[in-house]
Amino acid sequence: MLSRSVAVLLVAASAAFILPSWAAETYQGQVAGVGSVEVELVERGTPTFPRRARSYGVSGSVLVRFSVDVEGNAIGAVIVESKPRRMFDRSAMRYMETLKFAPYLVDGEATEVNDVQMTVAYVLEEG
């Protein structure tokens, strides 16, 4: 009997490469009056692989757009796209609540960063 292990990966929406483990994980966003900026992810929980998806043997991903507030919290998360539809949405939205970013500073003052996107990928691996 084969046992299955579950891997949940985070993928920057625009990243085409894998960063070394020592490199900071950053995401692109927008600051009014400044333009495109990067925010650094400093803390995160672990997304839960839904039981239904595991029992069906399904992998998938959810693209989420959100803002980072002045305290570094992910706020106002909305699902942009999910594959398969709705299978991982609830897990991804709960996961967004665990994220903590370094506050983005403009002239020494923390400011909100908008239009940040993150893909939460759920991969069911045979093992």
CATH 3.30.2420.10 fits 4-15+25-126, yes or no: yes
At residue 126, the pLDDT reads 67
Query: Percent of the chain beyond pLDDT 90?
Result: 78
**pTM for this model (two decimals):** 0.81
User: Prior bond to 84 cis, omega within 30?
Assistant: yes
Nearest partner of 39 among 17, 56, 24, judged by Cα: 24
The domain locations on the chain are: 4-15+25-126
pLDDT, tens only, 71-100: 999 999 999 999 999 999 999 999 999 999
